[in-house]
């Protein structure tokens, strides 16, 4: 009987657990280690953060789901990984305290999601009270309270400045920031107070619509149409001030200090700000047979797990080397350890990194959330199942081969709402296959905005929670 441990039950880890439970069932021992006993549907927290959705509608208990698949849930914080082939286990501190729990494994999947590096930018984050976040359910609830307080003051006649974007020059998840700023705009329009708010989008992207994936382009009306034009047009229509190309260096009460791509330093004043922090990997203690630190074999400086990627390539070489991106997400030294979702270390950025004349690096990190996390979780799970059953892996999918769709809502109403829908293939541009199309298939890659996107976004909320609860037909719903 094989023992499989999964650290993390977000999109990647939970998806992996469902597929492993389905493939291996009660014949093998599957254990999920997670800090919370509940799953959180992150994409809908943007609605929570404007007061439009009860946070309970984005959560469900994990244990009843895992019971159906014969999976054990350990609620606590994984602290140590002991990867020695003769004695492999994870040490977990249970939630609420108590005796540490040992979880043995033959295969380990690390799918911990992001460690939110608010400390990487002085003055950033809810703990300082200078900026807010929508990266956790608790953060989204906090943000909604502060936002709604601001709304009350605008209703009373005050004018306010709202800033949404990224709070670190190496941040990712610009799509979430774009969706949040669009929902704020729509909410203020519906409340009849849009004219009392200046809304600013401040991001480390070199231009609107980059999203950390080097932007996208499509054929429309016989012409090439870019995501910079698409998102820039939305900003113009909505009256949102574009402050892209800026890396935040510090936040003080009511002021954001930044440096732009040209090395010019400046500041942006605000009354309310939601800025996404830098994402880092979770740093466990990786302990060898004799108690030695073996973390250098398993993670990079940011805490991300090293996998079957080619690391250390210069950007100009990386963008011409699609095989540099991992295909099975397996650690090269410990072959029974895999990483999925944000937890794996990418070989480098997708968008071109920029260093200002002063030496300040502004480089959006590659997005590895949502659909991408789910796809990688499935690939890893199926390969672990293959190894258990057949002794060899048969599944692979690089991000240079992966299709992804993003639906950014602009209000949650099914009657007057809207959404920007972007489909890209592949996620990471492949300049060998599509040298004249910016690295992507411009037939598959698509962008549009409209009410249908709002319906699709709401449908995804319902459909994906159905899938992630492991209900009937869940396997037929794509990640």
What is the spatial distance between Cα 122 and Cα 252, in angstroms, rounded to a whole number?
Answer: 8
Rounded CA-CA distance 330/309 in Å is 9
Mean pLDDT, rounded, of the chain: 96
Reported as type and span, the H/E element at residue 467 is: helix 451-468
Identify the band that residue 340 occupies on the pLDDT scale cut at 50, 70 and 90: very high
Position 94 scores a pLDDT of 95
With a cut of 80, say whether residue 414 has pLDDT above it: no
pLDDT level of residue 456 (50, 70, 90 thresholds): confident
Percentage of the chain with pLDDT > 90? 90
What does the pLDDT average to over 229-239?
A: 96
In the chain, % of residues over pLDDT 70? 100
- pLDDT of res. 221: 78
Q: Which SS3 state, helix, strand or coil, does residue 143 take?
A: helix
Q: How confident is the model at residue 475 (pLDDT cuts 50, 70, 90)?
A: very high
For residue 353, give the DSSP letter: P
* pLDDT higher than 90, residue 273: yes
Q: So what's the pLDDT on residue 97?
A: 86
Residue 416 has pLDDT above 80, yes or no: no
Cα separation, 310 vs 453, whole angstroms: 37
What's the pLDDT score for residue 219? 83
pTM over 0.85: yes
Cα–Cα dist 466/469, whole Å? 5
Residue 167 burial (10 A CB sphere; 0-12, 13-18, 19+): buried
**pLDDT band at residue 256 using 50, 70 and 90 as cut-offs:** very high
**pLDDT, position 247:** 98
- Using CA atoms in the order 232, 235, 236, 238, what is the torsion angle rounded to 10 degrees? 160
39/286 Cα distance (integer angstroms):
26
Concatenated DSSP letters for 364-383? PPPP--HHHHHHHHHHHHHH
Domain ranges of the chain: 3-116+279-389
Which pLDDT belongs to residue 413? 74
Q: What is the CATH number of domain 3-116+279-389?
A: 3.50.50.60
pLDDT score of 455: 86
Q: Is the pLDDT of residue 372 over 90?
A: yes
pLDDT in tens, 49-61: 999 999 999 999 9
Of the listed ranges 319-328, 388-397, 413-422, 454-463, the one predicted with least confidence: 413-422
As given in the structure block, the two tokens for residue 60 are 């469900």
Confidence of residue 458 (pLDDT cuts 50, 70, 90): confident
In this prediction, residue 361 carries a pLDDT of 98
Cβ contacts of 226-229, under 8 Å, gap ≥ 24? 227/422, 227/447
Reported as a single tens digit per residue, the pLDDT across 85-116 is 999 999 999 998 889 999 999 999 999 999 99
Mean pLDDT for the stretch of residues 240-267:
98
DSSP string for 157-207: T--EEEEEEESSTT---HHHHHHHHHHHHHHHHHHT-GGGEEEEEEESSSS
H/E stretch holding 257 reads strand 255-260
* Of 95 and 18, the one with more pLDDT: 18
Q: For residues 214-235, give the mean pLDDT.
A: 91
Residue 407 is predicted with a pLDDT of 87
At 141, the pLDDT band (50, 70, 90 cuts) reads very high
Residue 214 has pLDDT above 80, yes or no: yes
Would you say residue 415 has pLDDT above 80?
no
Q: Is the pLDDT of residue 417 over 80?
A: no
Judged against a pLDDT cut of 80, whether residue 223 lies above it is answered with yes
* Statement: residue 240 has pLDDT above 80: yes
**382-403, pLDDT tens digit by residue?**
999 999 999 999 999 999 999 9
């Amino acid at each position: 009987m094989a023992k499989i441990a999964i650290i993390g039950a977000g999109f990647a880890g939970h998806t992996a657990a469902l597929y492993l439970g389905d493939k291996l069932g009660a014949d093998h021992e599957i254990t999920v280690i997670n800090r919370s006993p509940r799953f959180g549907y992150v994409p809908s927290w943007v609605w929570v953060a404007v007061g439009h959705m009860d946070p309970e509608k984005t959560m469900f208990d994990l244990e009843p789901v895992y019971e159906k698949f014969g999976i054990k849930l350990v609620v606590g914080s994984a602290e140590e990984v002991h990867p020695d082939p003769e004695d492999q286990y994870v040490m977990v501190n249970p939630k609420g305290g108590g005796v540490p729990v040992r979880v043995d494994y033959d295969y380990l999947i690390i799918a911990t999601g992001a460690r939110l590096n608010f400390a990487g930018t002085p003055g950033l984050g809810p703990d300082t009270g200078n900026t807010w976040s929508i990266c956790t359910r608790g953060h989204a609830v906090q943000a909604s309270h502060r936002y709604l307080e601001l709304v009350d003051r605008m209703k009373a006649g005050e004018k306010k400045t709202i800033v949404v974007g990224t709070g670190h020059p190496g941040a990712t998840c610009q799509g979430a920031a774009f969706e949040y700023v669009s929902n704020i705009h729509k909410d203020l329009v519906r409340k009849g107070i849009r004219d009392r708010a200046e809304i600013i989008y401040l991001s480390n992207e070199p231009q609107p619509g980059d999203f950390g994936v080097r932007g996208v382009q499509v054929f429309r009306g016989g012409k090439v149409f870019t995501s910079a034009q698409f998102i820039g047009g939305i900003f113009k229509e909505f009256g949102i001030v574009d402050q892209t190309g800026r890396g935040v260096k510090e936040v003080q009460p009511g002021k954001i200090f930044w440096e732009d791509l040209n090395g010019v330093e400046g500041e942006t004043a605000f009354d309310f700000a939601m800025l996404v922090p830098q994402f880092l990997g979770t740093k466990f203690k990786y302990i060898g047979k004799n108690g030695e630190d073996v973390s250098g074999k398993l993670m990079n400086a940011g805490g991300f797990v090293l996998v079957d990627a080619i690391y250390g390539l210069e950007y100009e070489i990386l963008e011409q080397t699609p095989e540099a991106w991992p295909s099975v997400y397996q650690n090269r030294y410990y072959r029974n350890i895999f990483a999925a979702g944000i937890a794996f270390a990418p070989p480098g950025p997708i968008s071109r990194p920029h260093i200002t004349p002063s030496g300040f690096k502004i480089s959006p990190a590659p997005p590895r959330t949502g659909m991408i996390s789910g796809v990688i979780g499935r690939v890893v799970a199926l390969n672990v199942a293959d190894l258990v059953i057949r002794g060899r892996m048969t599944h692979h999918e690089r991000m240079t081969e992966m299709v992804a769709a993003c639906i950014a809502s602009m209000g949650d109403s099914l009657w007057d709402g809207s959404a920007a829908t972007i489909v890209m293939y592949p996620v990471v541009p492949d300049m060998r296959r599509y040298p004249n199309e910016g690295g992507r298939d411009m037939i598959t890659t698509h962008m549009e905005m409209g009410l249908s996107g709002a319906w699709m976004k709401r449908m995804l909320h319902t459909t994906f929670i159905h899938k992630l609860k492991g209900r009937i037909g869940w396997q037929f719903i794509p990640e």
